Structure 1
Amino acid sequence: MLVLTVLIPLLGFLNQAAAQAVDAWHLDTMYTLITERLDPIINPNGVSSHAHRILGGSNFGANYNYNLYDSSSCSSAAVQADNSNYWMPQLFWKETNGTFTPLKAGTRFYYFLARNKPDIPVKAFPPGLRMVIGNPNAKDSSSTNLPAPAQGFICLKDHFSSPTGDKAGPDFNFATDCPQGLTTTIKFPPCWDGVNLYKPDGSHMAFTDNLQYGSCPVSHPIRLPAIMLEYVWQTYNLRPGVPLKGNLVWANGDTTGYGLHADFVNGWDTAVLNQALNDPNCVGKGEMTMTACPVLAQHMNNAAALACRPARGVLETIQDGVALPSLPGCNIPWSSGNKPTCSPPVSNPGLPSGLTGQDGSLTYTGSDYPLPSLTSYPANKWSRVGCQGGQNSLLNVIQYTDAALTPARCQTYCSEWGMQFSALISGSYCQCGTGLDPAAFMYPDAHCKQPCSGASGFTCGGNGKLELFYNPSSTTVNHPGVTDPQHVGCRKEGNGGRALAASYISYDPMTIEWCKNYCIAQKQPLAGLEFGRVCMCGPSFANGGGVPQPQSYCNAPCSGNSKQICGGPAATLSVYNLTLPGGPGTSSAVTSAITSTKSSTNAPSASGGTFTVTKTVTVTAACTAGRKKRSLRHFDFLH
């Protein structure tokens, strides 16, 4: 049956895409294959808890494996190279007599084709991929398990005369009728982890930093087409002029609308899809119909799509416009709290054997989707990895500001502190880390074009974006020019208070040995020197102090021995851990400011997810024999 598909401007969603000149395909000739209680992802080889309106390949059934679906004889999508299946729950009108009428719907989908980087094309869906998006039990926006823009409801009020009259809402309960229909849209995440074809929690897929247009996270580096599935429910045909509020219910009984969800199983001819994704006549031209792509146009057959029917059998018959005494299955309308149960229980129809079969693998084992890897980077050399970003892009970050920053200066700093990742940001900041946060995002190089503060001919990242370098050999802490084994580096003074706050003294003939002995007398395990003549002690770093700095920032000669260094002139400390071997110690335990939490993420190695270097240093030493304490006068202390 041919049903009307309304071509809708997708309000801010498409305006956002247009502003970024994102490539997109849309298929407007797509028909319902069947409406029944099957869901091969959630209920494999069983009857689903509620009815779905299913689109796509004729081999749809209660199980899913790619080879079976790919070999469908037809698809209800006009592009016959796509034997995938797509579905949303069926929407019903609640009649005043207590019955429920299935609504007709026009359907279509969008594929948004934004890339991680301009030179890396979007890849075809891997064979065997499944996706479920949304929460059927959601009762408000906070429980949908989706970013807010991923779920949409539009009441087509005056679409044909003035599309700006269309109204968007948070759910389907519009306090008005929708003369041109009710549109429900849902957006699928486009970033794949490259390993898992399905995980029940959906973690094998991820959204970009900008829903479907931005960049993929490091943990999910493979960019796939971003599906937006759209159903236009023909409320105007069934109850023209009647407001929607309080009259609609999803197939699972949800009356709030927030239970909108959708599924996808891949049945594409991946060779055809990959050819289209790499054809300059099909990409790089902004938004276009699939028919406008020469590769896909060869596979268009609207008559075949319109005539396509399920090939493996039918579970039940649910006809549009024909009222039912109850929602199929155990689905009592509800708007809050736990889903109601049925008493007596509702029995399911028998499942025809033709609809069952073996499910496909949940893990991808092919070689067409290689994951980025760091194994190819040479040893003892800093190699550029790319432009990265995110709230916490590196693991175990240390950072300093440098008015003369260059890539080499930053790399020297990171090498000193034994960190494998060196990153430049905003022109004058240097960061080091032991690995990449899996939630960091991969950006095109155009985001990392800010000149370095110390060399305009070099770029030092961007605003919130890191120009990232990697050296697999940078794993050993080595402070240049320092041989004292108790030295734990040049560190930053505290913010608004001392970094070592237990005791503090300014002493004109200051030396490193004097300061160490002073802190031993104070029974403190850490000793710090600054300004050439100041010594401070403490059990640990305080007031945000102790952040590692380049050794060159501690360059003030000690006032009592000009051949020694006692911190720096700009609030930097030369710090000594008195419990480490090589000098007198105390019984206090000290933990270095550089700590590492070993990553357990499944992020690919290119992202630093599995090779975190542990740098926690905790050393306990026994107290030495009693020492004669130096008698200090009041003016020895500065308060």
Structure 2
Amino acid sequence: MTSSIRTSMGLALTALQGANAFFRINCATVQSGRIDPLVNPGTLAAHSHTILGGSNIGVNATYQSLLDSDCSSCEVQADKSAYWSPTLYYEYPNGSFIETAHGGGVVYYLGRGPGQNDTVPFPPGFMVLSGDKAARSYDNATFTYGTADYPGRPVADRISFACLDGLYQPEQPYMYKTDCQDGMRAQVHFQSCWNGKDLYKPDNSHVAYQSRIDDGICPPTHSVQVPHIFLEINYQVNDIPGKTPDGRFVFSQGDPTGYGFHADFQNGWEMDIQTYAVKNCLNTVDFGQISACPPLQAVDTSAYGVNCPQRPRPIDEPVDGLLAKLPGCIKITPGPAAAPAASMTCPKDVIPSKIIATKDTTATPTQSVAPGQPFGGEYQIYLGCFNDTAGQTRALNAYSEANYVNMTVEYCMGICHDRGYRLSGVEYAQECHCDNVLNPTAVGGQLGCNWNCGRTMVESLGYRQNCGGYSLIDLYNNTDPAFVANGSETANGGLPVPYTPLAPFADNYVGCFTDLDPRTLSSNNTQSDDMTVEVCAAFCAGGPGYRYYGVEYGSQCYCGNAFAAVAQLLNTTSSPTNDSACSIRCAGSNPELCGGANALSVYNVTDFVVPAPKPSVGKYRSQGCLTDPPNNVGRSLIGPSIDSPNMTNELCIKYCLGQEMHYAAIEYSTQCFCGNAVNSAGGAQSISCPVSNLMTCPGNTKELCGGPNLMNLFYSSTL
């Protein structure tokens, strides 16, 4: 059976890759919980789902309520449909569960087979489910409709999984591998043959698959062809905290195999746009480009996840975080027999007492203005949407700040006005930038300034505004006479303010680093409206022997002795032309750069002296350094361990000696590990100590205490 599975899945992959005409829509998560208006309308679903699409999704969702959604978490805002699939959990060896994160999904709309030119749009009210939640093994007996010219194939091939680890592997209809560097992708093909009359039937008999599932002909009983939907969900299976070989992944309906993966679709499209796209774009757009389909392009946004964030759950129960049981207390059924009908086995005291009514909304209007028109004030003129990526600095460089909650166009205008700047600009939904001269690398007339301003705007003001976009900035010019004198831009009481060139980086500049979670430098930090590189250097000089200091967002300062493992150097030289990410000017010094958004400008502490590794501590001799095994398969030493904010070489060795362990090792500056053997089976390697990657001990800054995934190793043959 294995060979037949591999062959059929290979056909599915080849067929999909061979069809270049389609359009593809990216979607973020909009809702999660035991919601399923197809299978369980008006009540609790048996298991949890993760949902993409229209914000009005709930247990009573209808075509009209979805169409009236305030927003869609899919990039094409005319698509307020709902797409949902079972939530994936990781089960720890102790029986607890944690949700496996995913970043949304990708929905492909394709015209397939000899009838593709006759494809009709999904009608209002159309709903469909694909897959079998009870399946726990591969069904090689049930085939699609077919003929001699268009043979059928196993219906089970509608489901497939791909492990994204950089190596080609044939896709399979089950979770064949869950150790995947870039995630595990679950995939489902929907039925694209319709009987032409029923919008939905609980047994899904109103629809059928094409003969090849993703291609071929429709059966005579279902001769009306609708768009073929192919849904991809990427699960971050390698981001599970504390993941061990003894744990396992399980879908929310109790399926640890993946054979029972399934997905639902409820139409919420604006019919005029869907009709145009199906007729004119489904079979003509190459490689899924939304930009090649004008009506879709007009309502496309890269800010779908920002503009339409996940809604509060309407079911009063937790479905994420660490859980003692699967939602609904679903039992795990590994098969191979089909799972019995799921039932809620939770005792009454943990069953949600009520369903919180979904607050149906209507689309919120967005304020818009054409370039050259006033907006936000008597003298404020909209200049347009400008790029903000070219060159070494931002379009506006004099001052900037971020406020994700309360940012509006007027708020930013006020910030810039109060500081004496005539130009203001909003970007990334939350950033405000000010200056008196526009960087000449910024060019107007761009598309994509459609990220909605601060998170609370709709609730407090009742409308939306646009605050730039991804590397795009909405610019405004304050033409108030107080800011213009004799034709020259002025500020601060009428004094001329020319464009100030950047100051050169100091010799101790290291470079521009990504600064996500965890922070690149995490030992200490401060923030100041008067921040400069020198202010940050002085702050970190007061710490216990810090090796690095860095500035970010124009006003933030961070100190530390080593970089976080996730930090990446964004440039290879100290030239500003390679530091486009670190491009915000310091709040207290116009000529200096102080990092950027999630980007840290890092400097060496010039008088820092790197300690030399200790050759021995008591009877324990240094063995150099030891790397941790790759791929999170465990530690290099797997005996007793402690973590102390006062860690030193002596403290760790004393602890391991007391545990009667021959090896002692310190890592991440505060962690101590012991053992009687090195876990070499996991791939740990002994190396000479790269001092540049080691951290000083918090209990004694003249000693080294390992680094990220790197241990200072000591050994004693006698105890």
**TM-score, length basis structure 1:** 0.49
Higher Cα Rg, which structure: 1
**TM-score, length basis structure 2:** 0.44
Structure of higher RCO (CA pairs closer than 8 Å, 6+ residues apart): 1
